[in-house]
Amino acid sequence: MDIIDLNSVTDIALQLKWKSNTASHFESYAARGVSLWRDWLPDGVSQAVTGKRAWEKASVDLAPGELFGKNGRPIKVDRRRFSLAPQAGRFYPKGRLSGLPGVFPQNIQPFRCVGVSNGHLDVDMDHPLSPYPLFLSMTVGQISDQKVERGGSSIDWVGRLTEGPGMQARWQGTPTDFFSGTPFARKDEQPDDRFYGNPRLVHHLDETAREMVSDIYKRFVKDGMQVLDLMASWTSHLPEGARPEGVSGLGMNRTELEQNPRLTGIKVHDLNADPVLPFGAASFDVVICTVSVEYLTRPLEIFADVARVLKPGGVFVVTFSNRWFPPKTIQIWEQLHEFERVGLVSEYFLKSGAFDNLSTYSMRGLPRPRDDKYARELYLSDPVYAVWGSRVQE
């Protein structure tokens, strides 16, 4: 079968594009084994893909609130009904609010605290994407006939795509309070050079996720460029076909850096002890940082200095997932939803005042390689998130 109808099962690559007041956002989800008969898709989405052949594309425009509804105004909640110390702009499970009609302790859907005053919380219960117009594109993959149905669960694929996106954006332009308290404290505060003294020549992402990271860098790393691999290790995840003129690696372990075949120069340097990069101004076309931003205890200083070593118009690309070394990750990273972490990294860029053309990216839903050591425990590949921005032109 090569045309989608109600009897089809197909793979669909879903991509959502939207804009907040600070950035452009791209969310991708690999929906595998979509049944048009059993699974739930919004009417416009189902109609758009019906009749399509393998590898054809379809798209729909969605007005603000069309998918989720929109109340429009925050509600006031007695501060005593909330069991945590709230921070403005942050998201929390609705079940943490006690005594509200229709809200049960088991409810893990997020709400946003948008203000704290006079013993009350101002609470936004809307979906975080509800204020934005959305552009949803779909690329059809392999199509097959539906086997005999004898029941089974129905999957809301667009719901999976939109579970989390929107949380990275500021609420009505107001910066999220990520920085109250001690957000950069860590469980292990011993000097980093002790923790990283022994080389770890292991991958921190599965193979599929590493390919996604490489694809992101492929957008920016071109032949003849000067590249800085910040917080580098024994592999740089650069696209194989790219031929930059030089790749400088700054990291904590000399053995790991010396094992990296892409590096043309190495610097052993502890950014948490000294956030000033040991490079001259305007030295690099691109700076990359792979699955390491969660370990920075002085990120605002470091992002500002990355801007110094970038050429005007140069790009800083930060990629990460949901895996880390628990003793050394900063406290707030563990407290945040995965998409709030995208917002945290975005705030690092914004607070520096040195970057524009900010973009965020997410990729989820891809299958984990069968030969991965976690394949029996985890069906899906590690999610990949990215934030990037361009050095402001002088």
Query: Residue 12 belongs to a domain with what CATH number?
Result: 3.10.50
- Same domain for 103 and 36: no
- 264 domain-assigned: yes
- Residue that wins the pLDDT comparison between 121 and 201: 121
| 347, 22 Cβ separation under 8 angstroms | no
Mean pLDDT of 244-258: 97
Position 257 scores a pLDDT of 97
pLDDT band at 299 (very low <50, low <70, confident <90, very high): very high
Position 143 scores a pLDDT of 86
- Same domain for 230 and 100: no
Mean pLDDT of 380-388: 96
pLDDT band at 147 (very low <50, low <70, confident <90, very high): low
Q: Is residue 60 predicted with pLDDT exceeding 80?
A: yes
- 170 domain-assigned: no
Query: Residue 257 belongs to a domain with what CATH number?
Result: 3.40.50.150
pLDDT band at 148 (very low <50, low <70, confident <90, very high): low
Segment 86-112, tens digit of pLDDT: 899 999 998 888 777 777 878 888 999
- Same domain for 87 and 207: no
Q: How many domains does the chain have?
A: 3
- 173 domain-assigned: no
| 184, 297 Cβ separation under 8 angstroms | yes
Mean pLDDT of 358-376: 89
- Same domain for 326 and 214: yes
- Residue that wins the pLDDT comparison between 106 and 122: 122
Segment 176-211, tens digit of pLDDT: 999 999 999 999 898 888 888 888 878 889 999 999
- 183 domain-assigned: no
Position 84 scores a pLDDT of 74
Strands of 120-124's sheet in order across: 75-78, 120-124, 110-117, 91-93
pLDDT band at 268 (very low <50, low <70, confident <90, very high): very high
Position 1 scores a pLDDT of 57
- Same domain for 139 and 83: no
- Same domain for 139 and 211: no
Q: Is residue 372 predicted with pLDDT exceeding 60?
A: yes
Position 239 scores a pLDDT of 93
- 176 domain-assigned: no
Segment 1-41, tens digit of pLDDT: 578 888 889 999 999 999 999 999 999 999 999 988 889 99
Residues 319, 324, 328, 332, CA torsion sign: positive
Structural domain that includes position 37: 8-66+131-147+154-161
Task: Write down the pTM of the prediction.
Answer: 0.95
Average pLDDT of the chain, as a whole number:
92
- Same domain for 380 and 297: yes
DSSP letter assigned to residue 52: P
DSSP 192-259: HHHHTSS-----SS-HHHHHHHHHHHHTT--TT-EEEEET--S-----TT---SEEEEEES-HHHHHT
- Same domain for 109 and 209: no
- Same domain for 342 and 321: yes
Torsion angle of alpha carbons 236, 270, 287, 243, nearest 10°? -40
- Residue that wins the pLDDT comparison between 115 and 229: 229
What burial class does residue 189 get, using C-beta atoms within 10 Å of its C-beta: 0-12 exposed, 13-18 middle, 19+ buried? exposed
Rg of the chain (C-alpha set): 22
